[in-house]
Amino acid sequence: KVWRVHRLTTKAKADTLKKIEPWKLYTMVTGLLVVDIVLLAAWQVYDPLQRRIEVFPLEDPISTDDDIKIRPELEHCESDNNNVWLGLVYGYKGLVLVFGLFLAYETRSIKVKQINDSRYVGMSIYN
């Protein structure tokens, strides 16, 4: 929505008769979704997540007189190049957030209350 408001305010100076069709917004959202799907699918094809179990040393229980020991285990999912894939995902999402901040900043001075969501968009990105 903020992208449409930005397009309306910047393109209005150049072309006052041109309407912004809803399919352009849907195309933009679909494009972002396709990038997500391709990135996550490539991650699962080339370097799939696997269950890893981290075993800790035996411990004595705190409040028992029984002759037992506790062996803690931690299960988590990771891949061989987990940091690379997470860096790609976080980098892409960071660029999308920066673009959202740019759009919120550019549309901050819109006087029509029904379409000016820049304050809410900025707050949701910062939180």
Domain parsing of the chain, residue ranges: 2-51+80-126
Beta-bridge partner residues of 125 = none
> Please, which pLDDT band fits residue 60 given cuts at 50, 70 and 90?
confident
What does the pLDDT read at residue 82?
A: 92
- φ, ψ of residue 16 to 5 degrees: the values are -80, -20
Question: Does residue 6 have a pLDDT over 90?
Answer: no
Provide the mean pLDDT of the chain. Answer: 78
Find, among 86, 88, 58, 91, the residue nearest to 72 by Cα. Answer: 58
Q: How much is the pLDDT for 24? A: 74
- Tens digit of each residue's pLDDT (9 = 90 or more) over 76-123: 999 999 999 999 999 999 998 888 777 777 766 665 555 555 556 655
Residue 125 or residue 88, greater confidence: 88
Q: Would residue 116 be called left, alpha or beta, if left means φ above 0 and alpha means ψ between -120 and 50 degrees?
A: beta
- Provide the percentage of residues in the chain whose pLDDT is more than 90: 39
Residue 51 has pLDDT above 80, yes or no: yes
- In this prediction the pTM is 0.65
CA 53 – CA 89 distance, rounded (Å): 25
